[in-house]
Structures are given as C-alpha cells and as structure tokens.
Structure 1
Amino acid sequence: MGLAWLTLGLFWFLLGITWISSTKLYQQGLIVLFWLPAVWLSWSQRKYAFEVWRLEKTLMVALCALIVWAAASVIWTAAEEPAREAKRLFYVLFFLLGLVYVGSIPSRVVSLLQWAGFGLALAALAALVQHYGFENKPWRWRAQGFGLLDHPIIGGYVFGMALIWWSCLPPRRTSLRLAWAVGLLMLFTFTVMTQSRGVWIALLASVLLMPTWRAGRAGLIMALLLVVAATVGFWLFGDYVVARGTSYRPEIFAASVGMILDKPWLGLGLGSEYQVKALGRMFDHTHNLFTHVALELGLPGLALWLAIWGRSLAIAVRERDTTLGNMLIGLWVFCTMALLFDGANLWDSPRPEWFLTWLPVGLALGLMGLRAPSKCYHPSLSTRERSLP
C-alpha cells in the first residue's frame, strides 16, 4: 500500500509540474502523496534502505556528508530564516529515499516514466496550440508551458528531459509506436520553440553522444536527424541566434569565481542571497549550479556535490545494459549541460529545478533496486524487458 501511494506521489511530481497551476497546491500534493509515504517506508522498510546503503556506500556517504555540511552552514548563513532553509534539507532527503523505494520495482519505474512522458507530450502540444493558436502569438515569440513551467528556459529543460527519457522507453506494441513518435515530435518542437540556446546545446550534446552508450540504429538515427535539424535551423535562424550573444555567461562565471575565492572554505552559507556583478549589471545567481554550490557551501560543498554527481553517472554506466541505466546516462549528460548554463539552486523547495538535480541522483539510487534484494519485486532483466508495454 505504501509503495503504491509513493508511486502515485512520484507521478504527481512528474506531471503536476505542468498540469497543476498553483505552486502551493503542487507542493501540498507532494507532502501528502510522496513525503508521508516516504517517511513511513523509511521506518517500515528500513532493512531495504540499509541494504542499499551497504551496496552503495560511496554515493550514500557523500549525500549524507553534503546534507550535514549544508545544515552546519546555517551557523554562518546570512539567510533571513535559517530554520526554514534547514527544513528544505529534509525535503531532499525524503525525496531521495522515496526514489530508493520506488526503484525496488524497476518495471514500475519504467511504466511510470512512460506514462509521465505521454502526459508531458500532451502538455507540450497543448501549450503550443494555446500559445501560437488560440493566443495567435507570432512564431518568433518564445514558447512557454503551463503551471510551474510557464518560463521558456525552465520549461524547455523539463520537456527536453522528457524527450530524452521517452526516446529511451519506446513501447513494444506496434499500435502505440505512432503515438510515441508523435509525442516525441511535440516535445522536440516545444524545446526548439523555447528558443533557449542552453536547452538546444543540452539536447544536442545528449543526443549526439547517445550512440556511444546506446547500441543499435535507433540512437544513431536520432543523432543524425538532430544534426540535420540543427543544421537547417542554424541556416534559417543563425543570424538571430548569434545576435543574442553569450548572455553574459563568461562574464558571470569569471565574477562568480572571484566571489568564491573571497570565501573558499565556508562559503556564504545555506540559503544566503547574493548578486553577481558582471559588466555593470547585477544577476541574482551564477547561472551555473557548480559555481553556485561553491559560492553557497564553499569548496568542500562543491567537492561533495561533484562526488554525488559523478557517482550517479558511474552507477548509470555500470547498469547501462538495463533500460533505466541506459536512459539515465542520457539524462545525466543533458542535465550536466543544463546546469552549466542555467543552474540556479540546489536546496530550494520542490520545483522544476529538481528535475535537473535530484531526480537523476534519485534514479541512480533507485537503480540499486537491480542489486538489492526486495521482498516486493526483484525480476531478472529479461523478465523486466518482457513486462514493458
């Protein structure tokens, strides 16, 4: 019962981000549908969590160390409400624990991501129709989604992630392949129409590298099609893209490094607000998650985050012969590129940015379900593959 409840909560997390218009309602739904069952399972199924800890001490120790270090930093933080900032650490902790338990049934995770991809594809189609159809916006206007994805950049990243994971989870039934292909086209169209170059680069990098870990013609065909689309797009709109320059990213990075060097060991503290000054302009964050973590939590915090992020990739590569492992490599590449250009925060309350940070880490922990014994379900790879729709 608890696991079914938790699965529903993860579905809410993946789809509510665009179909729920209220941030407060979205987060309250997560409390009821995800955090409460995660807390319950953390006690009732604690033996399974201990088994995952035994099998994956590197990632688990790094995660615990980062959370403890972030909690300690409230001592020197300049945040107005340090207790509120520390409370958000528990959100992350139980979110990751929840994904550990959902991952105990790999076939359920695959089905969940397939249905979530379908729901996000419908949301992409609805947003395009609303924006360019009913509202009659010019094609040069940037597309934006519904709900919490009503910003072109963050909406582009979430729909781009859905494009990556759904492309790795094709339905086995021929009758569903057409709907799957159309959905991929809708997700791709939306990401292109956001006109976010960070999204384009992340998508291009992940798809071009896909043949290196995904054997067969599918990955190669996708890479070739994207190269053709990128070439045609640059030929048609190259002047427009180049005219926008680098959006101050190099200057922001250089200024951020200078700020990090001012407090390299302790950082500003958890939740501290700051502004980056570059070329006479002020920016609310570093536009790069790695420099943001170093600025907020110092170099120790950055080292721990890099250990977490790198270990998540190592787990995905180790499990690359599985459906979820193969998919996670693609997501990791996409998210890494995204975080280099537009990463803003690591500890904020649940929001779209969690798709780029904690969701890949949680899926990596969930992959331990392939190795940790679970009394719920522990199929062989062949059984899991046959169970796909």
Structure 2
Amino acid sequence: MLRQLIGREIKGLGKVLILLLALGVFIQLSGLLLNNDGSRYATQLYLSLFLPALLLLLRERLMLDLWRQLPAVIFLFLLGWVLLYAGVHPGSDKDFWNWLKLVLLLIFYVAAVASLTRHEKFLMLVLVISLIVAAVFAWLTLYYQFVVLDRPLSYEAFRWVRLWELGWRGFGDLKHPIIAGLYYSIFTIIATWLLLRPGMGPWRSLFLMLAIAGLAFYILLTFSRGSWFSLGAGGLALLLITNSRKSYALLSLGAVVLCLAAYWFWPELQNEQRVGVNGRELIWVGWLGRLSEFWLMGRGAGADFEFTFPTGQSFIHAHSLYLQLWYEYGLVGIGLFVAFVLSLLFKAWQCRALPLAQLAMGLLVLAMVAMISDVYAIFHRPSPYWALFWFPVGILLGLRKPVT
C-alpha cells in the first residue's frame, strides 16, 4: 500500500529525491531535539536536505514556476540585497562567499518545503511525525523535571530557572528558554491545525489534545512571555481563518481558560507586569537614538548592534528582528522584508480555503509577533528560527492559488 502511494504521488519527480527531501525537512524540524551534536545535525542536513534540493532544482530546470509569483520575486530581491551588502558594505561581518553559501542554502530549503507542499501527503507525514517527536520530548521533559528531579511545581521554582532542555545527555537542548518556547509553539500550532481538520476520530483527537497540553505546559514553564503572546496571536489567526464550528468552539474554550487562569494566577500576572520587558525598552530607545547613523544605508550584513546597560551587561543585537534588519540593511532592506511578509500574508488570504494555507497563516503570524522582541536573525545557519519563519514561507510559496 505504501509503495503504491509513493509511486502515484511522486511519479513525475523521482522517488529518491522526494523521499530524501521529506527526510531532510523532518531532520531540520526534529533534529534539534534528536541530536545532541551540532556538527552531526549539520551533516545530516547537507546530505538529506540541501543536496537533494539542489538536484531537484537542476532536474526541474530551477523550478521556474515557483519563482513566478510576487512573494517569490520579492524574496529573491531581498536575498539579492543581502548579497549586495555582503559584497560591498565594509561593515559586513563575513565575506561575500560565506553569505552566498547562506543565501543558496535558504533557497534550497524554501524550494524543498515548497516541493513537499505540492506533494501534500508527504508534507503531512513530515508534520505528523515531527509533532509526535516534539510532543514526546515535551512530556519527557515534564516527567524528568517533576518525577526524576522532583522539582516543585510552583511559580517561585520555575520563574527564574526556566525550561529549555530535557536535561538528559544533551538531548532536547534548545540553548535558551525563549528559543524553546518559540520552537514548541510551532508544534502547538500544527497540533491545533490537525485537530481542526475534519475526519479526526476520538482517538486521534485525544492524542492531539494530549500533545497540545504537554506542549502548552512546557511553553508556560519557559516563562517566555514573547512566546506566550506569539502563540496566542498565531493560534487566534489559525482559528479565525479556519472559520468552522470546531475552530469557534476552541476559540470559546480558550477564552474561558484564559479568564480562569487570569483569575487564579492574578498575583503572578501582576509580578510579570512589574518585570516588564526585561530592559528591551532601553535597547530600543538606544536604537532610536542612533537611527540617523544608519537609517538609509545600514551598517552592513550581519553587523552587531552593540548596547551596554548601566549595569555593564552588553548585548550585540537590537532584540527585535525588524529593528536589527533595518540596522544591518538600511531602509531598502527593511522595506523589502516588510513587503515580503505582507505579500505572504496576502497570498495566505487568497488561498485561505486551502488547509495548508490556514496552517501557514497561523505559523506566519506566530513568527511575525515573535520577531517584534524575541528573534534576532533569520539570515544565518540552520536553527530553530528557520522552522519558525522559513518553514511557513516555503509552504506559502509552494501553494497554488485555487482556480475560481
């Protein structure tokens, strides 16, 4: 049965390439949890994702139909601007060839996701297996923290010692609670999207609800408020664009849960309000004070935005992707990026009747809100931020608008 399915689904593309691409995208999404060695993760991506994507582009004559759409054209112009700055701007942090390699890898990744989108059953398989891995790791982390380590479940115990790793042999180590919160938010959106799909029986629905519960509890204990708001915005966008009885039922249930949680944890919420944005406002004011130095031409691809607090603590980025991109690439660069995101939103709206467009809309809104305060770079080596931003980009570019 599986052999017949594969044969029908990828007859015109080649079994080996499409299966490798599915494996490569799965590794990109889930390898961050399954690998405890960064070099092994990179090697797996080159062999299972980037090389097959290159061969696919050559086999399909560069997939010209993929690039003949407004969001893709803006995407290529944006990458061209990044390369131009890498080559000519003296403030760029790496040489032109390193930036060329990065740009090519991004093109390969977006093309790979777009190709899987056009073979929806394989993308669905990647999404489901990746979700299972993420949900299992979320529940294993909770088990390890509360059962093995016997940590108390209290606000005081977790507020300043937040979750970002499984805690066993380096697996599931996402390096920082903000990254962990955003990473698991991706799979919470995916699980919610699957739950909204018609034909989900009681057992599948139960599994998805358990997955959402574990993922959401993990995200809560990261105490990444940016992740909370980003997930809320992405989930709201997904529920509204789905526009079904089930989505509005979940929306109502979510509103009730939030009201009860606000009532029950009101003292903790007041404390979070007192904490504020952890000094980000000082960084943003500092960025605004230097605006006249870079607003037009920027400081160069990958340039550090250096800021030092009165306490002596220093940071090298603006704690906002939008501000950081403007700082690096100037007015044209941030203009191209904003135009790119808006064109993606417009395409998602045009394709809103398609289930994958609904998923991509939720993921893209999640990324857009996260980029306000919690994402510092998207033009860099493969990382959780690729899954956060470039994954929904690939889905949207791969979708074909419904014929009316």
Match of 2:252 among 219, 224, 229: 224
**AA at the equivalent of 2:28:** F
Q: Which of 260, 263, 276 matches 1:245?
A: 276
Q: Retained in 1: the 8 A contact 2:93–2:301?
A: no
**Which residue of the partner structure matches residue 61 of structure 1?**
73
Decide which of 352, 360, 366 is 2:392's aligned counterpart. 360
2:104 is matched with which residue: 63, 66, 90?
Answer: 90
Quick one: distance in 2 between partners of 1:360 and 1:130?
32
Mean alpha-carbon deviation: is it higher for 277-286 or for 12-21? Answer: 277-286
Indicate yes or no: 2:169 matched with 1:157: no
Deviation at 1:39, TM superposition (A): 0.3
Aligned to 1:375: none
Q: Deviations over 1:314-354 (max 9, x none)?
A: 11111111110111111121111111121111211001111
Q: Which segment is superposed worse, 144-153 or 21-30?
A: 144-153
| Cα contact 2:237–2:361 (8 A) shared by 1 | no
Aligned counterpart, 2:136:
122
**1:337 and 1:77 mapped to 2: Cα distance?**
31
Q: AA paired with 2:164?
A: Q
Q: 2:380 is matched with which residue?
A: 348
d(CA) in 2 for partners of 1:127, 1:362: 30
Aligned equivalents of 1:103 and 1:122: distance in 2? 25
Asked if the contact 2:320–2:373 (Cα under 8 Å) also holds between the matched residues in 1, the reply is yes
Please name the residue that 1:374 is paired with. none
The 1:193–1:365 alpha-carbon spacing in structure 2 relative to 1, beyond 3 Å, is same
Q: Specify the alignment match of 1:315 in structure 2.
A: 347
Q: What is the alpha-carbon distance in structure 2 between the residues aligned to residue 130 and residue 37 of structure 1?
A: 37
AA partner of residue 136 (structure 1): D
C-alpha distance in 2, partners of 1:100/1:207?
23
Q: Could you tell me which residue of structure 2 aligns to residue 299 of structure 1?
A: 331
Match of 1:107 in 2: 121
The answer as to whether partners of 1:19 and 1:123 remain within 8 angstroms in 2 is no
Q: Distance in 2 between matches of 1:23 and 1:311?
A: 34
Q: Kindly tell me: are residues 50 and 291 of structure 1, through their superposed partners in 2, closer, same or farther at Cα, counting changes over 3 Å?
A: same
Contact conserved, 1:152 with 1:196, CA < 8 A, in 2?
yes
Change (3 A) 1:223 1:144: same
Q: What amino acid is the match of 2:371?
A: L
Letter in 2 for 1:9: G
Deviation at 1:79, TM superposition (A): 4.4
Q: Corresponding residue for 2:3? A: none
- Residue 144 of structure 1 is matched in structure 2 by 164
The SS at the match of 2:380 is coil
Q: 1:362 to 1:257 in 2, by over 3 A?
A: farther
Per the alignment, residue 31 of structure 1 pairs with: 46
SS of 1:147's equivalent in the other structure is coil
Q: Comparing 214-223 with 351-360, which one deviates more in the overlay?
A: 214-223
Q: What runs of 5+ residues in structure 1 fail to find an aligned partner?
A: 372-379, 381-389
- Quick one: distance in 2 between partners of 1:169 and 1:284? 39
Matches of 1:233 and 1:134, distance apart in 2:
27
Q: Is the 8 A contact 2:235 2:362 kept in 1?
A: yes
Match of 1:168 in 2: 193
- Which protein has greater RCO, CA pairs closer than 8 Å, 6+ apart? 1
Match of 1:212 among 226, 229, 240: 240
Is 1:178 equivalent to 2:206 in the alignment? yes
Per-residue CA shift, 1:10-69, capped at 9, x if unaligned? 11111111121112211111101000000000000126x112223x1x112211111111
Q: What is the alpha-carbon distance in structure 2 between the residues aligned to residue 278 and residue 301 of structure 1?
A: 28
Structure 2 SS opposite 1:21: coil
Whether the 8 Å CA contact 1:78–1:273 is kept in 2: the answer is no
Query: 2:175 and 2:232 mapped to 1: Cα distance?
Result: 23
Structure 2: how far apart are the matches of 1:187 and 1:217? 24
Distance 1:233 1:219 in 2: 21
The match for 1:269 among 300, 308, 312 is 300
Give the aligned partner of residue 317 of structure 2: 285
Q: Deviations over 1:229-286 (max 9, x none)?
A: 3333333122332232221222222222333431122211112223134566532211
Return the alpha-carbon distance in structure 2 between the equivalents of residues 194 and 323 of structure 1.
30
Corresponding position of 2:29 = 14
Say if 1:239 and 1:324 are closer, same or farther in 2 by CA, change over 3 A.
Answer: same
In structure 1, the residue matched to 2:285 is 254
CA-based RMSD of the aligned residues comes to 2.1
Name the TM-score, length of structure 1 as normaliser.
0.88
Q: 1:168 to 1:244 in 2, by over 3 A?
A: same
Cα distance in 2, alignment partners of residues 308 and 106 from structure 1: 24
Q: 1:285 to 1:138 in 2, by over 3 A?
A: farther
Aligned mate of 1:73, from 64, 75, 85? 85
- Are the aligned partners of 1:207 and 1:226 in contact in 2 as well (CA < 8 Å)? no
Q: Is the 8 A contact 1:77 1:272 kept in 2?
A: no
**What is the Cα deviation at residue 80 of structure 1?**
4.9
Q: SS at 2:356's partner residue?
A: helix
How many residues in Structure 1 have an aligned counterpart in Structure 2? 368
Flag structure 2 segments of 5+ consecutive residues without an equivalent.
Answer: 1-15, 166-170
Does structure 1 retain, via aligned residues, the 8 Å contact 2:238–2:359?
Answer: no
Mean Cα deviation higher: 262-271 or 83-92 = 83-92
Native 8 Å contact 1:153 1:196 kept in 2: yes
Distance 1:210 1:50, change over 3 A: closer
